């Protein structure tokens, strides 16, 4: 009789909640490497892996994690094999990697258009002893073979790669790049899979999605997030899995939801240094699912259809915002208010009047004691807006797309209509000034906002164009913005009073400028 109880219970649950007992399982394989004994080490990849691991575990995934010296190819391969063996058709495996990527001469002649294979570099690889250590790289051909194993069983795959293989940047960033030096010599294939996998590149994978941190022409830098070096893609993906990307609260993240969330937040957190890259570039369907957040019964986190729960919005302080920044002062000057924060600091060179971001960018020029508080207040407000955006990011565009613009460049800024009736548009200038651009209120939907043929002029540094869409009343905020003498501190107070913890969508468009070359 006892043996029958689990079966009867399972039958009852299946009848009571159709599909719940047979819901698909999600597996996570997480790899993060900071310590490279034979190469330049990184600072934030293990933080990325730990963050993603926590978010996956909280979402109910079955997760295996490898960091630093634990990240050995044979162990990673076995974990993948075990997951594929256990998974059933309809399940999902998410493989995330944070660490160095690199390139080498193609293993199979004519296999790559650029003549180069890409690989993930594990700690045991030494390019000065490549014949002995070539087993400690994972070549793109091998990954094709791994993905084909899952696809053959009807298992979905999402590969999230927070690394890079090529590219350069125009801005002066002090964070490390996740790009190891290219291997110049032609290596022997590290495995038979590396040879066989070349033939799989022509396969049209139907259930594999790849999310890379940046375009092939861009680097993947480590940037400062919440005071610590991080990968912007890993940070954004962890927040997505926590549920922030699940706009309708149905327990699943579609490809389109993930795109919308990741593109916006990677731009916000990298200060527009990166543009993520999806493969395939276009979603296979409007309803294509890439992440299932939970497995279980309604009430235990899994909801569907009419039972979907709306997204809950948290106040900024619950998301880590402190109302302070860390500031290092080079020179003799009084310390501004709200600068006793922790983590990698902003820096103010008093003699030269230059204000630097924690990433090493020039944020503002000609900043003296009379302007420093306004600049500090701007970045305190910007952090507040980034916290809001992490829950419900909007999308805006600046054309042409560059990481830095020179004097005389002409730009176009577009903020599309939002799904809320009210909209605010303003600029946080590099000097700390707040510049009101537009307000739309009490409509059924906001209209498109455009700035066309904008010319880059002095002063140079970092501006941030902000768009907020909401169903909450915005007249009081608009009144504050309309004051020509409004400060960032006053605007912050108005936003905290009216929108903190409320449903609102926030888009942030960084605009870094400099003197013409």
* Stretch 23-35: mean pLDDT: 94
- Supply the pLDDT for residue 294: 66
**Model confidence pLDDT, tens digit, residues 145-172:** 999 999 999 999 999 999 987 655 567 6
For residues 294-328, b (16+ Cβ closer than 10 Å) or e, as one string?
bbeeeeebbbeeeeeeeeebeebeebebbeebbbe
Burial class of residue 125 (count of CB atoms within 10 Å of its CB; 0-12, 13-18, 19+): buried
pLDDT of residue 216: 72
pLDDT digits (tens, 9 = 90+) for 349-361: 999 999 999 999 9
| Average pLDDT over all residues of the chain | 88
pLDDT at 193: 80
Angle between helix 232-239 and helix 45-58 axes, rounded to 10 deg: 10
Q: Is the pLDDT of residue 493 over 80?
A: yes
Q: What are phi and psi of 46, to 5 degrees?
A: -70, -40
pLDDT at 37 over 50: yes
Q: What is the pLDDT of residue 4?
A: 34
Give the model confidence (pLDDT) of 374-433 as tens digits: 999 999 999 999 999 999 999 999 999 998 999 999 999 999 988 899 999 999 999 999
pLDDT above 90: residue 116: no
Pairing of strands 362-364, 354-356: antiparallel
pLDDT at 485 over 90: yes
372 pLDDT more than 70: yes
Give the 3-state secondary structure of residue 253.
strand
Phi, psi of 286 (to 5 degrees): -65, -30
Q: Tokens for 448, please give them.
A: 């498109």
Model pLDDT, residue 187: 79
- The pLDDT of residue 490 is above 50: yes
pLDDT > 90: percent of the chain: 71
Rounded distance between C-alpha atoms, residue 57 and residue 64, angstroms = 10
Mean pLDDT of 3-14: 34
231 phi, psi to nearest 5 deg: -95, 125
| Whether the Cβ atoms of residue 497 and residue 386 lie closer than 8 Å to each other | no
Higher pLDDT, 248 or 260: 260
Q: What's the residue count for the chain?
A: 517
- Listed in sequence order, the residues at least 6 apart from 65 whose beta carbon sits closer than 8 Å to its beta carbon are 30, 31, 32, 49, 50, 53
Domain ranges (residues) in the chain: 25-307, 317-514
113: how many CB neighbours lie within 10 A of its CB? 7
Which range has highest mean pLDDT (40-54, 174-188, 282-296)?
Answer: 40-54
Fold classified for 25-307: Rossmann fold (3.40.50)
What is the rounded average pLDDT of the residues 478-485? 95
Question: Tokens representing 177?
Answer: 């790049």
List Cβ neighbours of 514 (8 Å cut-off, separation of 6 or more).
362, 404, 405, 406, 407, 460
pLDDT given for residue 183 in this prediction? 85
Reported as a single tens digit per residue, the pLDDT across 78-102 is 999 999 999 999 999 999 999 999 9
pLDDT at residue 444 is higher than 70: no
Q: 264-282 pLDDT, tens per residue?
A: 999 999 999 889 999 998 8
- Greater confidence (316 vs 177) lies with 316
CA distances (Å), origin 331, targets 31, 342, 361, 374, 431: 42, 20, 19, 19, 20
Average pLDDT over residues 105-130: 85
pLDDT of residue 32: 98
């Amino acid at each position: 009789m006892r043996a029958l109880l689990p079966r009867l219970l399972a039958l009852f649950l299946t009848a009571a909640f159709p599909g719940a007992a047979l819901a698909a399982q999600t597996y996570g394989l997480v790899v993060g490497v900071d310590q490279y004994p034979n190469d330049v080490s990184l600072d934030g990849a293990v933080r990325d892996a730990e963050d993603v691991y926590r978010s996956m575990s909280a979402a109910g995934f079955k997760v295996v994690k490898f960091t630093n010296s634990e990240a050995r190819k044979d162990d990673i391969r076995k974990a993948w094999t075990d997951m594929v063996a256990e998974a059933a058709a309809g399940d999902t495996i998410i493989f995330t990697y944070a660490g160095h990527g690199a390139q080498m001469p193609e293993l199979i002649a004519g296999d790559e258009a650029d003549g180069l294979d890409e690989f993930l570099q594990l700690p045991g690889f030494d390019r000065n002893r490549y014949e002995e250590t070539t087993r400690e790289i994972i070549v793109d051909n091998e990954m094709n073979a791994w993905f084909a194993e899952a696809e053959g069983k009807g298992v979905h795959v999402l590969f999230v790669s927070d690394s890079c293989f090529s590219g350069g940047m125009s801005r002066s960033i002090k964070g490390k790049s996740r790009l190891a030096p290219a291997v110049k010599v032609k290596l022997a294939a590290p495995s038979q899979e590396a040879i066989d996998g070349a033939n799989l590149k022509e396969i049209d994978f139907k259930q594999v999605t790849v999310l890379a941190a940046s375009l092939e022409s861009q680097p993947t830098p480590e940037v400062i997030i919440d005071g610590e070096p991080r990968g912007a893609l890993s940070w954004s993906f962890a927040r997505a899995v926590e549920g922030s990307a699940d706009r309708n609260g149905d327990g699943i993240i579609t490809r389109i939801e993930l795109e919308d969330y990741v593109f916006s937040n990677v731009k916000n957190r990298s200060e527009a240094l990166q543009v993520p890259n999806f493969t395939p570039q276009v979603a296979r369907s409007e309803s294509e699912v890439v992440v299932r957040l939970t497995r279980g019964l309604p009430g235990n986190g899994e909801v569907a259809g009419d039972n979907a729960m709306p997204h809950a919005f948290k106040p900024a302080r619950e998301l880590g915002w402190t109302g302070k920044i860390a500031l290092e002062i080079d020179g003799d000057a009084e310390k501004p208010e709200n600068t006793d924060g922790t983590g990698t600091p902003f820096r103010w060179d008093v003699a030269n009047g230059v204000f630097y971001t924690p990433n090493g960018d020039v944020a503002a020029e000609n900043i003296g004691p009379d302007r420093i508080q306004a600049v500090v207040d701007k970045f305190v407000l910007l952090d507040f807006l980034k916290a809001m955006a992490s829950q419900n990011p909007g999308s805006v565009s600046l054309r042409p797309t560059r990481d830095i613009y020179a004097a005389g460049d002409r730009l176009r800024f577009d903020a599309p209509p939002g799904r809320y009736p009210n909209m605010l548009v303003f600029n946080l200038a590099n000097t700390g000034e707040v510049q009101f651009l537009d307000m739309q209120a009490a409509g059924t939907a906001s209209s498109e906002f455009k700035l066309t043929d904008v010319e880059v002029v002095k002063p140079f540094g970092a501006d941030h164009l902000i768009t907020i869409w909401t169903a909450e009343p915005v007249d009081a905020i608009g009144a504050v913005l309309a004051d020509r003498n409004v400060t960032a501190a006053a605007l912050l107070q108005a936003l905290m009073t009216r929108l903190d913890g409320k449903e609102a969508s926030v888009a942030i468009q960084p605009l870094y400028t400099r003197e013409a070359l």
